[in-house]
């Protein structure tokens, strides 16, 4: 007789075959035919809670047993540290064995058990389907994040080159301005020098305009990428620094 807390299993033949998750439909990828098909019963939830509490108590008990009553003596302290390390290794080994028995073994039976798979183990299959879907989605998002970070790095380098070029042009402009003092390009008698000054002024204007547009694009890209730019001094300077 089926228990009232058991869930109805979906026919594996009706399970949709998914390819790689589409970046433009990420939320829809999680909505599969198995969504909401698995639910723990009250007794199963209670068993899991008791299992986790048992693991914490075992760790605390093992560490307490490894402590020495006289921690003031250096020799006993070294012994206590060694015992604590041994206790930790023993706990981790026992925990790994428990994990394999309680988690890996049912999963393997659910996938490869065939007719010998029990009803309780078959209930794991919908959760495994959801796990695979989320894993594919995570891989896609991780690849997109790497691509965005690479683009940000490339554009940041281009921005640094443009700023350095802008500083060089500004220094040239200041040098020429110092030479001609209060004169403007129209006041220079030498036609060749006047043409050079006018060309430099135009280059500075064009460079400042391109710099302003480039910085705006970079700032928007950094802020819109979702990365923690506030933690990076160079990115903070890129986003907040105003172009005069």
Position 218 scores a pLDDT of 79
pLDDT in tens, 64-116: 766 655 555 677 778 878 888 998 898 888 888 887 777 777 777 777 766 77
Answer with the residue of higher pLDDT: 128 or 138: 138
In a domain? residue 24? no
pTM over 0.95: no
Dihedral angle sign, alpha carbons of residues 44, 50, 52, 54: negative
Domain count across the chain: 2
The answer to whether residues 235 and 150 belong to one domain is: yes
* Residue located via tokens 């108590």: 57
Distance of CA 140 to the CA centre of its chain: 12
In a domain? residue 30? no
9 band by pLDDT with thresholds 50, 70 and 90: very low
The answer to whether residues 109 and 159 belong to one domain is: no
Answer with the residue of higher pLDDT: 130 or 185: 130
In a domain? residue 128? no
Q: What range defines the domain where residue 185 resides?
A: 142-240
In a domain? residue 14? no
The answer to whether residues 40 and 108 belong to one domain is: yes
In a domain? residue 79? yes
Last residue of a domain, one of 55, 87, 122: 122
pLDDT in tens, 13-62: 444 444 444 444 455 555 555 555 567 788 888 888 888 899 899 888 87
In a domain? residue 154? yes
pLDDT in tens, 139-183: 999 999 999 999 998 998 999 999 899 989 988 888 877 776 555
Distance of CA 228 to the CA centre of its chain: 10
Position 143 scores a pLDDT of 94
Across the range 115-122, mean pLDDT stands at 72
Q: Return d(Cα 216, Cα 205) in angstroms, integer.
A: 17
The answer to whether residues 170 and 227 belong to one domain is: yes
* Residue located via tokens 């020098």: 193
In a domain? residue 54? yes
């Amino acid at each position: 007789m089926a228990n009232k807390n058991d869930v109805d299993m979906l026919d594996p033949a009706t399970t949709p075959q998914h390819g790689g998750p589409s970046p433009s439909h990420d939320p829809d990828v999680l909505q599969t035919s198995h969504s909401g098909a698995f639910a723990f019963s009250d007794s199963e939830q209670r068993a899991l809670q008791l299992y986790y509490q048992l693991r914490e108590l075992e760790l605390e008990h093992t560490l307490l047993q490894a402590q020495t009553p006289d921690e003031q003596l250096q020799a006993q302290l070294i012994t206590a540290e060694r015992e604590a390390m041994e206790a930790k290794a023993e706990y981790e080994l026992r925990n790994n064995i428990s994990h394999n028995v309680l988690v890996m073994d049912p999963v393997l039976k659910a996938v490869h058990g065939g007719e010998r798979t029990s009803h309780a183990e078959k209930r794991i299959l919908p959760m495994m389907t959801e796990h695979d879907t989320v894993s594919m989605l995570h891989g896609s998002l991780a690849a997109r994040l790497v691509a965005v970070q690479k683009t940000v790095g490339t554009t940041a380098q281009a921005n640094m080159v443009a700023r350095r070029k802008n500083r060089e042009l500004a220094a040239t402009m200041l040098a020429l301005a110092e030479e001609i003092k209060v004169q403007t390009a129209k006041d220079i008698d030498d036609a060749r020098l006047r043409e050079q000054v006018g060309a430099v002024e135009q280059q500075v204007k064009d460079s400042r305009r391109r710099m302003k547009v480039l910085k705006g694009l970079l700032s928007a890209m950094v802020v819109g990428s979702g990365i923690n730019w506030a933690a990076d001094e160079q990115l903070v300077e890129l986003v907040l620094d105003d172009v005069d």
